[in-house]
Structure 1
Amino acid sequence: MVRLPDGTLLKIFRSRRNPLLARLRPDARRFAERATRLQGLGIHTPAILECLWIDRDKAVSACLYRPLDGQPLDKLFRDSRGEFDRRLPQLASYILKLHRLGIYFRSLHLGNILRTPDGDFGLIDFLDLRFKRRPLGPMLVRRNFQHLQRYLQRRKVADFPWSELQAAYEAASKASS
C-alpha cells in the first residue's frame, strides 16, 4: 500500500488466484465491490475512488481510495488498554452485527477493525470477506473467533480479555434475540 501526497491510498493486489480468473475479475474490483456492499449494510469502509490495472498479464490490480478515519483496535489495545476494555461490549456487539448480517470475515482481527471518530467501528482489508445468505451459524461463528484467536497467538498477545469478549458476545446475542 502506498500513501499518495493527497492522502489517498493505492492498494496493490497481486492475485494468488488462477491468472485467468484474476484477469476476468481482478482483486481490486472484488475489493471495491465488497466495500460498496458493506457500505450498503451500514458498515464503515474506505471510500473507493478508482480501480486500475498495474500489470494485466500478471493479474496485478490496484484500488485508489480515501482511507477510513479511525484508530486500529490493535493500537487502542496497546496504547490505551482501559479504553479498549471499556469498549469490549461494543466490539462484541459489532462482531455480532457482522455475523447477523451474514458477514464471514476471515481476517477479523484487531488490525482490521477501526474505531471511527463517531465512536462506531469500521473494516479495512476485507478482500477475503464472504457474504452469506443468512446469519452465520454456530460453526462459522466459532471458526471466525478461531481466526481472531490465532491472530492473537501469532502476535503473542497473552493478556487479551478473551473470556470477556466471548461473554460480551453471548450477552449481546441474548439481548438482541
Structure 2
Amino acid sequence: MKNLNEDNLDALLQGARVIEEDGYGIKVACLASGDYLKLYRRKRLLSSALWSPPARRFADNAEHLRRLNIPAPTIVETLRVPSRKLNGVRYQPLPGDTLRSHWQALDDERRAAEVERFGAFLGQLHELGVYFRSLHLGNVLILPDGRFGLIDLSDMQISGRPLARWKRERNLQHMLRYAEDSHWLTVLHRQNLLSGYAQYCGRVSADRLAQALRRLQGAGEH
C-alpha cells in the first residue's frame, strides 16, 4: 500500500470529478486520467481498518473475482494518507450500467428475461462462495457484452465453497431493503428469479430460496 502525503493526494485529485461525497469529504472521484479513486476514512482511533483496510479488501476481492471469471474493476494501486486517516483504492472502472438503472428502461417482458439471467448469476455467486454483503441492484453492472459485473467490493467474503443456507438468506435480505429492487425480484418477476437460480444451483436450493422469500416478505408485513 503506497503512502501519500496531503500534497500528493491533492495533486492526484487535481481536475477530478467528484462522484460521491459526504460531510467528511470526497468518497469517490473520477480522476483526470479516467481512473476512479475510492477513499475510506477511519473515524475511530481503534478500528479494524487499522489492520484490514477497506481499500485492501476491495483490491483483494477484485482480484479474486477476476480469477473466478466474474468481471470486477481492474486495480491500479492501493494507497494510504496517514495524516488524514484515509486509505484508498485506485482502479479502472467497469463499463456498463447498474441493473437498477438498466431495468428501469425495460418493459416487463424484457426485464423478466433479465431477472432470470440475474437469478442464475446470483446462484453462481452463492455456489462459488461469494458472500457480498452490499449486494443490491446498484452494485451489479450489466456490461456491454451482456455479462454481469460487481462493484463496491470492500464488504465481501469469498470462501471458495458454496454458501451456507443462512448466508444465502441474509444475502437475499440485503437486496430486499430497496423497495424497487424488492418489487421487481419478489412481486413482478419472482418466478423468473427462482427459475434462474435453479438453473445454476438446482431445484432444492431454489425451493429454499423461495421459502426464504416468503419468510422475509412475511416479516416485512408486520
TM-score (norm 2): 0.70
Output the amino acid matched with 2:67.
G
Q: Say whether the 8 Å CA contact 1:2–1:9 is kept in structure 2.
A: yes
Q: Say whether the 8 Å CA contact 1:14–1:61 is kept in structure 2.
A: yes
Deviates more, 1:97-106 or 1:134-143: 134-143
Give the SS at the match of 1:48. Answer: strand
Give the match for residue 143 of structure 1: 170
Deviations along 1:55-87, whole A, 9 cap, x unmatched?
x25541111111011110010121224433221
Post-superposition offset of 1:113? 0.4
Work out which of the residue numbers 80, 86, 89 in structure 2 matches 1:53. 80
Cα 1:157/1:174, change in 2 over 3 Å: closer
Distance (Å, rounded) in 2 between the aligned partners of 1:120 and 1:127: 21
Unaligned runs of 5+ in 1: none
Unaligned runs of 5+ in 2: 1-27, 206-222
Superposed CA RMSD in Å reads 2.4
Q: Say whether the 8 Å CA contact 1:19–1:59 is kept in structure 2.
A: no
Distance (Å, rounded) in 1 between the aligned partners of 2:198 and 2:133: 20
Determine which structure has more spread, i.e. the larger CA radius of gyration: 2
Distance (Å, rounded) in 2 between the aligned partners of 1:63 and 1:103: 21
Work out which of the residue numbers 135, 157, 161 in structure 2 matches 1:134. 161
**Is it true that 1:86 corresponds to 2:122 in the alignment?**
no
Post-superposition offset of 1:174? 2.1
Give the match for residue 8 of structure 1: 35
Cα 1:113/1:16, change in 2 over 3 Å: farther
Q: How does 1:57-136 map to 2 (within 5 A)?
A: 59-82=85-108, 83-136=110-163
Distance (Å, rounded) in 2 between the aligned partners of 1:79 and 1:86: 14
Give the SS at the match of 2:176. Answer: helix
More relative contact order, 1 or 2 (CA 8 Å, 6+ apart) = 1
Give the SS at the match of 1:5. Answer: coil
Give the SS at the match of 2:202. Answer: helix
Give the SS at the match of 2:37. Answer: strand
Give the match for residue 168 of structure 1: 196
Runs (4 or more) in structure 1 with deviation over 3 Å come to 15-21, 156-159
